[in-house]
Amino acid sequence: MLRALGIRDFVIVQRVEIELGPGFTVLSGETGAGKSILVDAIELLMGGRADAATVRGGAERAELSAEFDLDQGVPLASWLAEHELEGDPGSLILRRSVDPAGRSRCFINGHAVTLAQLREAGEYLVDIHGQHAHQSLLRAAAQRELLDAHAGAQALARETAEAFRAWKRLEALAAQAQAQFAQREAERGDLQAKVDELARLAPREGEWDLLTAEHARLAHGSALLEGAQASLETLSEAEGASLPQLAAVSARLRALAEHDAQLVPVVEGLEAAASQAGEALRELRRYASRVELDPQALREAETRIEALHAAGRKFRARPAELPSLAGELQARLAELDLAVDPEALRREVGAAQERFAAAAKSLSARRKSAAQALSKEVSEGMQQFAMSGARFAIGLRALEAPAATGAEEIEFEVSSHPSLPLRPLVKVASGGELSRISLALQLVASKASPVGTLVFDEVDSGIGGAVAETVGRSLRRLGRERQVLCVTHLPQVAAQGDRQWTVVKAGAHGKLAVSVQQLEGKARVEELARMLGGAQVTATTRRHAAEMLGG
Instruction: Please give the span between the terminal C-alpha atoms of the chain, in angstroms, as a whole number.
Output: 29
Residue 214 is predicted with a pLDDT of 75
pLDDT higher than 80, residue 253:
no
Quote the pLDDT of residue 284.
73
Q: Mutual orientation of helices 221-232 and 207-219 as an angle, nearest 10°? A: 50
CB atoms within 10 A of CB 180: 14
How is residue 291 annotated by DSSP? -
- DSSP run (H or E) holding 166: helix 154-179
Looking at residue 94, its pLDDT comes to 95
Alpha-helical (H) ranges within 316-407 are 322-339, 342-384
pLDDT number for residue 135: 60
Question: Which pLDDT belongs to residue 221?
Answer: 61
pLDDT in tens, 13-46: 888 899 999 999 999 887 766 777 888 899 999 9
340-344, 368-372, 388-392: which has the minimum mean pLDDT? 340-344
Residues 6+ apart with CB under 8 A from 322: 198, 201, 203, 208, 308, 311, 312, 315
Give residue-wise pLDDT tens across range 99-108: 988 899 999 9
Residues 6+ apart with CB under 8 A from 42: 2, 5, 66, 126, 128, 455
Asked if pLDDT for residue 275 goes beyond 90, the answer is no
Write down the pLDDT at residue 26: 93
Neighbours of 45 (CB within 10 A): 24
Q: Is the pLDDT of residue 92 over 90?
A: yes
Nearest-Å Rg of the Cα atoms of the chain is 40
Tell which wins on pLDDT, 258 or 421.
Answer: 421
Please state, in angstroms and as integers, the Cα–Cα distance from residue 251 to each residue in 242, 245, 268, 274, 279, following that order. Answer: 14, 10, 11, 11, 19
Q: What is the pLDDT of residue 369?
A: 93
pLDDT band at 133 (very low <50, low <70, confident <90, very high): low
Is a pLDDT exceeding 60 seen at residue 341? yes
State the average pLDDT over residues 412-432: 80
Rounded percentage of the chain residues whose pLDDT exceeds 90: 23
What is the mean pLDDT of the segment spanning 197-207?
85
pLDDT at residue 137 above 80?
A: no
SS3 419: coil
Residue pair 385/467 in contact (Cβ under 8 Å)? The answer is yes
